[in-house]
Structure 1
Amino acid sequence: MNKKTSIKMLMALAFSALAAVAEKQLVDYFQPMEPQGQLVSNGIWGAANVLPRDIQNGLEDPTLKNWCYWDGRIVKSDDGRYHIYASRWTHAVSHSVGWHDESKGIHAVSDNIMGPYEDQGLTWPHWKDGIGHNVVGLRMHDGRYAVVTSELTPGEIFVSDSPDGPFKLLGQIKVDNNGFDPGLARYPADNAGAAKHGNTGHMSNVKVLLRPDGRYMIIPRSTAPMISEDGILGPYKIMGDRVFVKQFPELNVHHVEDPTVWHSGGMYHIVVNHWPSKTSYHFSSMDGIHDWKYRGIAFKKEETKIFRYTDGTVNDWVYVERPTAYVDEETGHVTHFIFSVIDVKKGQDKANDNHASKIVVVPFDGEAFDRDMQKIVAGE
C-alpha cells in the first residue's frame, strides 16, 4: 500500500466516523436506570404501562396518601446531598384542578442523585400560602440557593443561604423587551389559554442558567434567549426570537413548551417540547444567543423508550414533560435528566383515583454527548 492510498483510507475512515457521530441524537445518550429498590406493582398507583417500577427513583408518593408531584431541577449542596425544588398538589383533586388551583412549591432531598427524594414540605410557606408552579432551583453566582416559580404567578425568585431554607422572596423578575414582542417573555393579554386561567402577564416555564461569563440567562416558554447583566432578578433583555422559528416555522407557537437549557462541552443547549406530537427538539448555540442550530430529536414519546431499567423493564409514561438537565460541577458534563411524568392522559387523572404524576431521574452519558457534539461542530 503506497502512502497516497494510506492517506485516502485514513480520510475515509475519519469521514465515516464523523458521519456516524452526526447520525446520533440526544436520545441516544440516555442510559438504563439502575433500580434503587425492588421493582414493584402491588400496593402502588399506576396503570399497567408503568408497572412494575422503582418507587425509590426520583420523587413520588407511591401509595397516594398525599401528593402528586411535577416540575423540578436537581441542585447539589456542598455537603453532598441532592435537592429537588418542585411542585406538588393534593391527590384529593384531579390533575387539571391540581396543577392550576392547588400547586405549591416544595423541597425534597436525597443522599443519592437517583433517589429516593424525601419531601421536606413547602419552600415558602409564608408567601401566598406556598403557591408555586414551574418550580426549579439553582445555585447563584454568589453561592446562595435560588428557587424560581412562574405560570401561576408573574415570575418570582426566592433565595436562601442554605439549601434547606428558609427561602425569602428576593423579588419579581424584570424584563427589558429590547424592541421585541413582549409576548416572548410573558403571556400576552390576547392569549386565550392564559386569559382563561387569569395568567396574562405571567412568565411561564422559566429556566434560569448561570452562564460561564458571569451573566444570568433565562429561557422562558417561548425559547427566546434573555440575558441579565445585573443579577438574577434582571432586567433580562430579550436577545432574539424563538430559537426554532427559522428551522420549524410550521410549529404552532402555542403548542411549544417546557424548554430546558444548559451549558456543557463549550456550548449551549436547549430542548423544547411540541406537546401535540409528544416530540422534543434539540438545538445548540456556541454563545447561547445567536445561530441556534437544530440537532435532531431529543426524545419522541411514541418512538423512544427512555424509561428502561438495567434488567430490560420499560415504563411507558403517557406524558413526559418538564425535562431538566443536571450538569456535574466537577466534570462539566450532564449526568442525569429529570422528567415530570403521568401514567394516563391528564384528563383521566381524577380525584382520589389510582393515577398520578411523579418525577423520574434518568442517567445520561454527557461525556460522550459533549465529545460527539464537539466533533459535529468542528466538522461544520
Structure 2
Amino acid sequence: MIKRINTFTIFCLAAAGIFSCAVGQKPETNTPVSADLDFTQLIQPVPTRAVLKDSLYYTWCGTMVADSKGTYHLFYSRFKRELGFSAWVTHSEVAHAVADNPLGPYTFKDVTLPPRGREYWDGLCTHNPTVHEFDGKYYLYYMGNTGDGKVTPKGLNFVHRNNQRIGVAVADSPDGPWKRFDSPLIDVSPDSTADDALVVNNPSITRKPDGGFLMVYKAVGKKKPAPFGGPVVHKVAISDSPLGPFRKQPGTVFEAKGSDFPAEDPFIWYQSGRYWAIVKDMHGAFTRAGQSLALFQSADGLDWQLAKHPLVSKLEIKWADGRVEKVAHLERPQLWLKDGKPQVLFLASDVDPSQSFNVHIPLKTN
C-alpha cells in the first residue's frame, strides 16, 4: 500500500543562500515512545477557552511556537466570512495571535503574511502555515499563490489553486519582522509526468537526527483531467538547511489502493528513533472510521507504514464540560512539542459551512 522511496535526488527550486543558518542541536531522542503508541489515549477534554474564533473571519490552519519569554504565538489562516468559505484559496492570509498559556485564549496581534501584489508567486493568498524554531531563528512554512483574485462561490478558483507553491518566511522573533522570498522553496517539477507537476502545498518539516531536515508535502500531478488534475499524493524532500535547497525524493507516501486522493494535511515529527505523522484520512482508507485523522510511522522518514493504532481522532471534540460534539471537519493537525513530547494538538474545525474555528486539544504527557 505504501511505495518505497529510494535515495536518488532531484533538485528543486529553492530560496537558499539569502540567510545563513547554523544546524546544530539534534532533535529530542530520549523521550520514550512505544511502537504501540495509541494517540486516542493521549487526547484530553478541551476547555472552552482553547478555541480561536472570529466573527468577521473564517479561521483555519493553527500552528504554535513558544518564545524564550514564555509567550505563545499562534499563526493561523483567516479569510473574510463575507466572501464565503471558498475564498480560502484566493483571499487567505496568515495572521498572528498571542497568549500566556499554550491552550489560550489567544488574542489577535497582527497579519504576518498579508497580500503583497499579484506579481509575486505568493502575492494574493497565504495558507497552510506551520511554524518552527531552529537554532534561535523562526521559520514559517506555508502555501502561497496568485491569480485573478476572483472568488468562485461554489467550488475552487482553479487559477489560484493550480498556482499553489510552498514557501518559507524567516524571523529572529515570532513577533517579526518576517523575511519573505521572491521564489518558492518548493516549486512544481517541470516534467509533466511528475507526481508534483501541477500543485505543491501543505508542507510539514522536522529536523533529522543527523542535523538535516526532512519535509513531507502534498502534491498534485497532471495525469488526471484538468483543471483538478491528479492523483493527489504526498512526497518527501530533504535538505541540509531549513532554507533549502530541498532535494525531492522519488515515489510517494501515504497511499491507499484504489484511491487517487486518500490523505492530506500531514504533520510530521521525530521522536525516540522514529518519525511520526498525523494525516487527514479523507475517506477512512487507513482508519476504517470514515473521514478522520490517522497515524503513520517511519524508521527513516522515507518509507512510511500505518501505525499499529492508526486512529488519532474521529470527527468529534470532547469538551471539558462532558459534551461530545460531532463536527463536519477536523483537519490541519499541528502539534506543539515541549521537551520532545507532544503537548497540544491544534486542529481546524467547523460544525457547518457557516462557521469555523481552531481548537487546541491538550494531550496527556505521562
TM-score (norm: length of structure 2): 0.71
Q: 1:270 to 1:241 in 2, by over 3 A?
A: farther
Partners of 1:265 and 1:333 within 8 A in 2:
no
Match among 217, 223, 238 for residue 227 of structure 1: 238
What CA distance in whole angstroms lies between the structure 2 residues aligned with 1:125 and 1:103?
9
What CA distance in whole angstroms lies between the structure 2 residues aligned with 1:237 and 1:257?
21
Aligned to 1:207: 204
Q: Does the alignment pair 1:91 with 2:81?
A: yes
**1:174, CA displacement in angstroms?**
4.0
Match among 159, 176, 180 for residue 169 of structure 1: 180
Aligned to 2:361: 362
Amino acid at match of 1:357: S
**1:107, CA displacement in angstroms?**
1.1
Q: 1:120 to 1:212 in 2, by over 3 A?
A: farther
Match among 47, 50, 57 for residue 67 of structure 1: 57
Partners of 2:115 and 2:125 within 8 A in 1:
no
Aligned to 1:280: 293
> Which structure's residues are more often helix, by fraction?
1
Aligned to 2:24: none
Q: Percent identity?
A: 25
**1:106, CA displacement in angstroms?**
1.1
Amino acid at match of 2:345: F
TM-score (norm: length of structure 1): 0.69
Give the secondary-structure state (helix, strand or coil) at the position aligned to 1:258.
strand
Unaligned 5+ segments in structure 2 are 1-33, 118-122, 146-163, 219-232, 284-289
Aligned to 1:238: 248
Partners of 1:105 and 1:130 within 8 A in 2:
no
> Which structure's residues are more often strand, by fraction?
2
Count of aligned residue pairs for this structure pair: 288
What CA distance in whole angstroms lies between the structure 2 residues aligned with 1:130 and 1:79?
33
Partners of 1:124 and 1:166 within 8 A in 2:
no
- Superposed structure 1 runs of 4+ greater than 6 Å apart: 21-24
Q: 1:160 to 1:300 in 2, by over 3 A?
A: closer
Choose between structure 1 and 2 for higher RCO, CA contacts under 8 A separated by at least 6 residues: 2
Cα deviations across residues 45-94 of structure 1 (Å, max 9, x unaligned)?
A: xxxxxxxxx2x323212xx1x21111121111111111111110111121
Aligned to 2:116: 127
Q: 1:88 to 1:313 in 2, by over 3 A?
A: same
Partners of 1:139 and 1:146 within 8 A in 2:
yes
Cα deviations across residues 70-123 of structure 1 (Å, max 9, x unaligned)?
A: 112111111111111111011112112x21122111111111100111112210
Aligned to 1:58: 51
Q: Does the alignment pair 1:297 with 2:310?
A: yes
Q: Does the alignment pair 1:259 with 2:266?
A: yes
Match among 249, 257, 265 for residue 257 of structure 2: 249
Q: 1:297 to 1:233 in 2, by over 3 A?
A: same
Cα deviations across residues 116-169 of structure 1 (Å, max 9, x unaligned)?
A: 1111221033733663111221113x3111112216342111111111011111
Unaligned 5+ segments in structure 1 are 1-20, 36-53, 189-199, 350-354, 368-380
Give the secondary-structure state (helix, strand or coil) at the position aligned to 1:212.
coil
What CA distance in whole angstroms lies between the structure 2 residues aligned with 1:301 and 1:223?
22
Q: 1:211 to 1:180 in 2, by over 3 A?
A: farther
